[in-house]
Chain A
Amino acid sequence: MHIDRLERYWIIAVTAMLGVFMAALFVSVVVFRVQLPSPVGRVDPRALAETEFATPGLTDLGASRYDMHIVAKMWNFDLGQAKGEPAEVRLPRGAQVTFFVTSEDVTHGFFIEGHDANLMLLPGQIASTTVRFNRPGTYHIICHEYCGPAHANMVAAIIVE
């Protein structure tokens, strides 16, 4: 099978370019430690009351580290806020928070504005990611997967002080 000389150069150039892209990816994973969600466990969405998700909210681990449990449900995020209170959590600047999030009913999403946090929330699965909040401001947690009529109102906020 004959391959034209120019076309051969093109194939080499393109392969090299894709190789560079892949190397960049490798660097971002190995050097900059960009992490992707990986399985941390399952829960029974019908019996969240018997699990670590019984009382959602922030746990202070000391040294600016926190765990945060969140339950997504149609159509709000339960961060442990009292009834009638807005879904908000206040954090000191520099806080490093490991989120553990699950859904009680259907598929939801979890996206924090301005930070590398992007999770699918599936009932039955615990999703987890760690985020450091260095800049003061208000960052929305947005549900980014369709979950019913009030999906676009399903939002919470992180206030970094």
Chain B
Amino acid sequence: MQAAQPLPQRRVAPLSFPRLAMLASERTLIGAHIITALVALSIGILMGPFQTFRRSPAFMEALPDWKIPVFTYYYQALTIHGVINALFFTTFFIVGFSYFVTQRSLERPMFSRGLAWGAFGMMFVGLSLVLYAIASNQANVLYTFYPSLVAHPTFYIGLVLLIVGTWIVTANIFLTYAQWRADHPGERVPLAVFATLANYVMWCVATIGVAIEVLFMLLPLSLGWITHTDPQMARALFWFFGHPLVYFWLIPAYISWYTMLPRQTGSQLFSEPLARVAFLMLMIFSIPVGAHHLFSDPGVSAAMKGVHTILTFVVAVPSFLTAFNIGAVLERAGRSRGARGPFGWLVRQDWGNPVVAAQLAGMILFIAGGFSGLIHASLTLNIALHNTAWVPGHFHMTLAGAITLTYIAIAYWILPLIRGRALFSRPIALAQIYTWLVGMLIFGHGMGAAGILGVPRRADLAGSGYISPEAATWLNSAAIAGVILLISSVLLFINIIGTLFFSRAPVSEDGPIATGSSDGSPLWFERWGLWLGVMLFLALVAWGPLFAETLDLVNGFNVPGFRPESPVPLR
């Protein structure tokens, strides 16, 4: 696996990957991504419990002067938490995982190692710039960076580098696929790669929105090249990107559930064609639904909100398909472990194997989190819940629950492969997983209940005067969850550091990769150009009118920028 190869028409002999180990070239590239991701997570995650403490009336009564360590300004910590967890940890992890899945499933190296390292470099510089901007108190704008709040230019440049990096990753993966396709005409690409390709197609369409927002509105405003902006337009562009973003995180977790969990549990996928349908639907319908984040916005018409609500229900279908398919995988697994009766398999699972248990715990959270999502996606209920604590309650069961736990499951087998040593401690891993599960359930419930009572999200409640005693109870329970999750995070990092530096035993768990594919799905599922066309068409239909009603070149773009610390406009 060396430097870039020209697009060869010749057949390359399949690269044979070692069992229970990685090639040196694999180890460096994938290791760099996964370890950067986990270091980012360790910074971002720690803020979470501290936020729950600042938001707990009982805690702040006991320690009235308590502040978040290091990042003492609450919203600085919250910006770190959102940006580093949701944007950088996820992206680095996903890219590293995608390289592993692509190379191993297609049994060939990436099209270009140079491109892969170039992209890594860009993303890494991006991460450093963003960290600099936030740590130096010049970017306290949260991970949604809505204008007219303005951050230091390095913040936006860092984000641009991250995104351009992922475009290069996309090109590299597609070129690798093209090479494979040339060697394998008429074959179906393995499911894991199929899903990976769908994910990056979706990502490239989605990032157009945020790229336009950052490059043409925010960065020039921050540099002083332009003086005014339009917050409603910025929010529309952001949420064009924002909903597919959550599927960008989710699809790798689904890849693990669909293609790895069956091997890890000694079962078999129930229906591979419908798995492909699910991924295609996620990809296509991720785009025309983003206005469900704009239900309370004054500049978007109720008609457009209605259209996006209806399509949001459509995009729930692939997750229900997944529930059936993965349910069937687990049923087989349970029965082969001796489960009896119609429901015995629900209990007879491999709860003692960290790699399986983390995914099962994630699924439990996903059921709660998924339904809570359907609830606030309903535009009428959204009025009661938008921007309340309910929303972080929801996405800590999905993003910080199901998705993060599945990434942790992946980390528990991929880190040993990277390091060439077994996972440091299985008991610690199990303790970590179950504390995470319990913590997130208590957290999600507490935040949800507080949200129903009207407690807002994104608020340093230590200084606010509007918390009712009833709501205080739920915020306090979220802080108890914060303690549990703090313990869980420490256990996670003990295992990561232990595996990297102190583990002595040989690797025992292989990368659960399937090569080849035998299902009966039609080959036109892989017409990516066609899907791209469909997505752009849907984008036009669902977003065209919305942008048209938002864009006003005569009366719009009249809002100057502000630093969060001061009500005096910048220019």
Contacts and interface: CB of A to CB of B under 8 A. Distances in A.
Interface of A: 1-4, 7, 10-11, 14-15, 18, 21-22, 24-25, 28-29, 32, 34-40, 42, 44-46, 73-75, 105-107, 109, 111, 113-114, 116-128, 140, 142-153, 155
B342 interface: no
A117 B380 CA distance: 11
Contacts of B267: none
Given A75-B567, A152-B461, 16 more contacts: A7-B270, A10-B324, A21-B374, A34-B383, A36-B383, A39-B301, A40-B298, A106-B148, A122-B235, A142-B454, A144-B456, A145-B146, A149-B73, A149-B75, A151-B459, A152-B464
A42 B230 CA distance: 11
B463 A152 contact: yes
A125 B298 contact: yes
A1 B463 contact: no
Given A25-B309, A114-B454, A125-B232, A39 B299 contact: yes
Contacts of B462: 152
Nearest to A34: B380
Given A4-B271, A39-B300, A46 B380 contact: no
B320 A151 contact: no
B391 to A, nearest CB: 10
A14 to B, nearest CB: 4
A114 B383 CA distance: 11
B457 interface: yes
B549 interface: yes
10 tightest A-B CB contacts, nearest first: A127-B298, A144-B456, A74-B567, A152-B464, A144-B387, A148-B564, A125-B298, A14-B320, A34-B380, A28-B380
A119 B305 CA distance: 14
Nearest to B301: A38
A24 to B, nearest CB: 8
Interface string B121-148: 0000000000000000000001000111
25 contacts: A1-B522, A3-B273, A4-B271, A10-B324, A11-B321, A24-B378, A25-B378, A29-B379, A29-B380, A34-B383, A36-B295, A37-B302, A39-B300, A46-B558, A105-B562, A107-B235, A117-B383, A120-B235, A120-B296, A120-B297, A124-B230, A124-B231, A142-B456, A146-B78, A151-B460
Nearest to A37: B298
B317 interface: yes
B341 interface: no
B310 interface: yes
Contacts of A28: 380
B270 A111 contact: no
B225 interface: no
Given A124-B558, A153-B465, A39 B379 contact: no
Contacts of A122: 231-232, 235, 297-299
A105 B320 contact: no
Nearest to A116: B383
Given A21-B313, A155-B466, A107 B149 contact: yes
A2 B296 contact: no
Contact of B387 (A7, A11, A118, A149): A118
A98 B132 CA distance: 45
B294 to A, nearest CB: 8
A28 B309 CA distance: 13
B317 A14 contact: yes
Nearest to A112: B454
Of A3, A113, A144, the most chain B CB neighbours within 10 A belong to A144
| B contact residues, range | 35 or more
A18 B460 contact: no
Given A18-B313, A124-B230, A37 B271 contact: no
Contacts of B387: 109, 111, 118, 120, 144-145
Interface of B: 73, 75, 78, 142, 146-149, 230-232, 235, 270-271, 273-274, 294-302, 305-306, 309-310, 313-314, 316-317, 320-321, 324-325, 374, 378-380, 382-384, 386-388, 454, 456-466, 520-522, 549, 552, 555-556, 558-560, 562, 564-567, 569
Contacts of A142: 454, 456, 466
Nearest to B378: A25
Nearest to B525: A1
Contacts of B565: 148-149
A47 to B, nearest CB: 9
A113 B454 contact: yes
Of B232, B270, B522, the most chain A CB neighbours within 10 A belong to B232
A114 B567 CA distance: 30
Contact of A45 (B75, B454, B558, B564): B558
Contacts of A121: 298
Contacts of A123: 148, 231, 559
Of A15, A35, A122, the most chain B CB neighbours within 10 A belong to A122
Contacts of B73: 149
Nearest to A114: B454
B296 A42 contact: no
A11 to B, nearest CB: 7
B506 to A, nearest CB: 41
A24 B142 CA distance: 35
A126 B317 contact: no
Contact of B388 (A3, A4, A144, A152): A144
B380 A42 contact: no
Contacts of B231: 106-107, 122-125
A146 B313 contact: no
Contacts of A46: 558, 560, 569
Contacts of A147: 149, 564
Contacts of A40: 298
B559 A45 contact: yes
Contacts of A144: 386-388, 456-459
Contacts of B457: 144
Nearest to B79: A146
Nearest to B567: A74
A151 B535 CA distance: 39
A116 B314 CA distance: 26
A140 B466 contact: yes
Of B271, B466, B564, the most chain A CB neighbours within 10 A belong to B466
Contact of B378 (A11, A21, A117): A21
A39 B465 CA distance: 32
Nearest to A73: B567
